[in-house]
Structure 1
Amino acid sequence: MSIDLIVNAFVTIIVMFDPPGLAAIFLGLTTGMTRSQRMQVALRGTVTAAAILAVFAIAGASLLGLLGISLGAFRIAGGVLLFWIAFEMIFEKRHERQEKSAERAITKDHISNVSVFPLAIPLIAGPGAISAVILLAGSFYAPVERAGLIGVIIVASVVLFAFLVIADRIDRFLGDTGRTILTRLLGVILAALSVQFVVDGIKQAFVTV
């Protein structure tokens, strides 16, 4: 298991999480809560999301096999999906869409359930993050390597949790301009990674034909 593979997995997952952008949304979701309550929501949300992503890291490829979908085809489709998310990040569309999802959830669900929906699903473990994890799992074949991927998910979730705990400080430090710049930079990185997924998928599809 190469260091490059681990680093690539970590960067992909942390970019999908978009901690700076999610921190601002988290503040909106937890308006009126004490610091202790916010920490509980952040912990429950990140743990739930990490568990969901770990399940897809382990069983995602098997699920694709049952559906008759090749990994190459999923790499191409997943790469296109991630590229669209990157496009939204660069042009500030994703943040707007996530805020609307959060607003709808607050009006329908009690505040105690915010940690599961919409924080864990779909703001953290959304379609993009799930697709990314399944794509990454295709490069972690052995059980030990798959355990390494789960470890990466846990570490990325810990980083995200730290961002959520100090969300108010980060938001004050970055401001609207700083948050926008950082989110766009993360979007550019994700766009490059998504193109690589598509290229790898095309290569794999031609090899298996």
Structure 2
Amino acid sequence: MIGISAQKIGQDTLIFFATVNPVGALAFFFQLTTGFSDSERAAVARRAVLYAALVLVGAVVVGQLLLEAMHVRVASFQVAGGAILFLFALQMIFGRHEEAKATKGHDPAIFPLAMPVIASPEAILAAVLLTDNDVYPIPVQAVDVGLLVGILLVTYLVLIGSSRISRLLGGGGMALLVQVTGLILASLAVEIVAQGIAALLAANGPAAVHTAW
């Protein structure tokens, strides 16, 4: 009765799972919380998921309107967000995370865990596009918000289980997971930037390209 099919529910669930990426969040979380106690890790995980939820649900409510009000195209947001995600992916690949841990007064739950790791550019885009006011009625949007919250809950459970997962995989296994995840995120970031640039070029038209040159 709410006008949403089981196929759309399944498809949107997979999209949110792929864009929020609990496995990628786990790898980054483990890097940033090396040396933390289990209780400290649980507190960081709780804050990170809460902040990410605020960002993503906020994107559903006002994201589209905010971008339009600022005259920022979704494609421009893709390019900027993809570039940021690429930089963090490089940190994962090369293990350059000590600076974030060593900074006094820095809460890794806010940056980079909540954003851009969990509330990643592609997750924000998915939240905006899958709840487009011009396409989907309010009941359908409400279902998608519920799916998004469910994926965030899964992410929280994965993060608080990071110590057990680490013991299961071992130091070498976790290091491999971090680097492989970083490589996947870097590839995804390049794809996001490429799609954004293609959309900008298509919107501007060939004349704008010649003018730029």
Place the TM-score, normalised by the shorter chain, in its bin.
0.5 to 0.7
Please, which of 14, 20, 25 is the counterpart of residue 21 of structure 2?
Answer: 14
- Distance of 1:200 and 1:39 partners within structure 2: 45
Structure 1 residue aligned with 2:126 = 136
Rate the CA distance shift 1:91–1:121 in 2: closer, same or farther, 3 A.
Answer: closer
Query: 1:47-93: per-residue Cα shift (whole Å, max 9, x none)?
Result: 211111222222224155256136x7145323432244225525757
Q: Which has the larger radius of gyration?
A: 2
Give the deviation of 1:26 after TM superposition. Answer: 1.3
- Greater share of helix: 1
Q: What is the root-mean-square deviation of aligned Cα atoms in Å?
A: 3.5
Structure 1 residue aligned with 2:160 = 161
Question: Structure with the greater relative contact order (CA < 8 A, sep ≥ 6): 1 or 2?
Answer: 1
Rate the CA distance shift 1:66–1:94 in 2: closer, same or farther, 3 A.
Answer: farther
Rate the CA distance shift 1:51–1:175 in 2: closer, same or farther, 3 A.
Answer: closer
Rate the CA distance shift 1:176–1:151 in 2: closer, same or farther, 3 A.
Answer: closer
Query: 1:91-144: per-residue Cα shift (whole Å, max 9, x none)?
Result: 757841x3201111xxx35xxxxxxx5231113112454344421211332111
- Distance of 2:53 and 2:44 partners within structure 1: 14
- Give the letter aligned to residue 42 of structure 2: L
> Equivalent residue of 2:107, what SS?
helix
Rate the CA distance shift 1:51–1:194 in 2: closer, same or farther, 3 A.
Answer: farther
After TM superposition, list the pairs within 5 Å mapping 1:1-209 onto structure 2: 1-14=8-21, 17-28=24-35, 30=36, 38-60=37-59, 61-62=61-62, 65-66=65-66, 68-69=69-70, 73-86=73-86, 88-90=88-90, 95-96=95-96, 98-104=97-103, 108-109=104-105, 117-127=106-116, 129-130=118-119, 131-141=121-131, 142-167=141-166, 170=169, 172-174=171-173, 176=175, 179-193=178-192, 195-196=194-195, 198=196, 202=200
- Give the letter aligned to residue 148 of structure 2: L
Rate the CA distance shift 1:195–1:123 in 2: closer, same or farther, 3 A.
Answer: same
Rate the CA distance shift 1:5–1:144 in 2: closer, same or farther, 3 A.
Answer: closer
Give the deviation of 1:176 after TM superposition. Answer: 4.7
Rate the CA distance shift 1:140–1:151 in 2: closer, same or farther, 3 A.
Answer: farther
Give the deviation of 1:171 after TM superposition. Answer: 5.2
Rate the CA distance shift 1:168–1:86 in 2: closer, same or farther, 3 A.
Answer: farther
Return 5+ residue gaps in structure 2 as ranges: 1-7, 132-140, 205-213
Q: Is this contact kept in 2: 1:82–1:190, CA < 8 A?
A: yes
Worse-superposed segment, 46-55 or 158-167 = 158-167
**TM-score, normalising length: structure 1:** 0.67
Rate the CA distance shift 1:42–1:173 in 2: closer, same or farther, 3 A.
Answer: same
- Give the letter aligned to residue 140 of structure 1: L
- Give the letter aligned to residue 126 of structure 2: L
Q: Is this contact kept in 2: 1:89–1:184, CA < 8 A?
A: yes
Query: 1:127-173: per-residue Cα shift (whole Å, max 9, x none)?
Result: 45434442121133211111111211221232233225544554513
